[in-house]
Amino acid sequence: MTIEKIKHLPYEEFVKLISSLTSEEIIKLSNQIGYPVFTRLCMGDLKHKFVLLQDGAAAIIVNEKKQILLQSRADRDKWGLPGGCQELGERFEDTIIREIKEETNLDVKEEDLNLIAIVSGKSRKNEYPNGDVVINNTALYLINNYSGQLKWDTESKEMKFFDLDNLPKNQNDPDLIETYKKVLIKK
**pLDDT (tens digit per residue) in 18-75:** 999 999 999 999 999 988 889 888 888 877 778 888 999 999 999 999 999 999 988 8
| Strand stretches in the chain, DSSP E | 52-61, 68-73, 79-80, 83-85, 114-119, 125-127, 133-143, 156-162
Q: Which domains does the chain have, with CATH numbers?
A: 3-46 (no CATH), 52-186 (3.90.79.10)
Backbone angles phi, psi at 123, to 5 degrees: -65, -15
**Closest listed residue to residue 132, CA positions, set 177, 63, 76, 57:** 76
Which amino acid type is present at position 129?
P
- Residue 177 above 80 pLDDT? yes
Average pLDDT score over the chain: 92
- Mean pLDDT over 75-94 rounds to 92
Please tell me the distance from the alpha carbon of residue 122 to that of residue 125, in angstroms, as a whole number: 6
**Closest listed residue to residue 41, CA positions, set 138, 132, 125:** 132
- Residue 185 above 90 pLDDT? no
Please tell me the distance from the alpha carbon of residue 62 to that of residue 183, in angstroms, as a whole number: 14
What percent helix, strand, coil does the chain show, rounded to 5?
40, 30, 35
What is the model's pLDDT at position 118? 96
Of residues 88 and 97, more confidently modeled: 97
